[in-house]
Amino acid sequence: MEFINKLTFNDDGLIPAIAQQYDTNEVLMMAWMNKASIEESLETGRVCYWSRSRQAFWRKGESSGQIQLLKEFRVDCDADTLLLLVDQTGPACHTGRRTCFYQVVTEKGELNIDSDPLIDPEELYKK
Amino acid sequence: MEFINKLTFNDDGLIPAIAQQYDTNEVLMMAWMNKASIEESLETGRVCYWSRSRQAFWRKGESSGQIQLLKEFRVDCDADTLLLLVDQTGPACHTGRRTCFYQVVTEKGELNIDSDPLIDPEELYKK
Select from A1, A76, A109 the Cβ nearest to the Cβ of B30: A76
Asked if A30 lies within 8 A of B24 by C-beta distance, the reply is no
Task: Identify the pLDDT of residue B127.
Answer: 54
User: pLDDT for B12-42, tens place per residue?
Assistant: 999 999 999 999 999 999 999 999 999 999 9
User: pLDDT for A46-69, tens place per residue?
Assistant: 999 999 999 999 999 998 889 999
Select from A6, A26, A72 the Cβ nearest to the Cβ of B104: A72
User: pLDDT for B76-106, tens place per residue?
Assistant: 999 999 999 999 999 999 999 999 999 999 9
User: pLDDT for B48-74, tens place per residue?
Assistant: 999 999 999 999 999 889 999 999 999
Tell me the average pLDDT of chain A.
Answer: 95
Residues lower than pLDDT 70 in chain A = 127
pTM of the model: 0.96
Asked if A100 lies within 8 A of B76 by C-beta distance, the reply is yes
Strands (DSSP E) contained in B38-119 are 48-51, 56-59, 68-75, 82-88, 103-105, 111-113
The residues, ordered by sequence, that sit 6+ positions from A91 with a Cβ below 8 Å of its Cβ are A64, A66, A97, A98, A117, A118, A119, A124
pLDDT > 70: what percent of chain B? 99
List the strands of the sheet with A111-113, edge to edge.
A111-113, A103-105, B68-75, B82-88, B15-21, B27-33
The string of DSSP letters for B14-60 reads -EEEEEEETTT--EEEEEEE-HHHHHHHHHHSB-EEEETTTTEEEET
pLDDT > 90: what percent of chain A? 91
CA distance A64 to chain B (A): 17
Task: Identify the pLDDT of residue B47.
Answer: 98
Closest alpha carbon to A92 in A42, A47, A51, A33 = A47
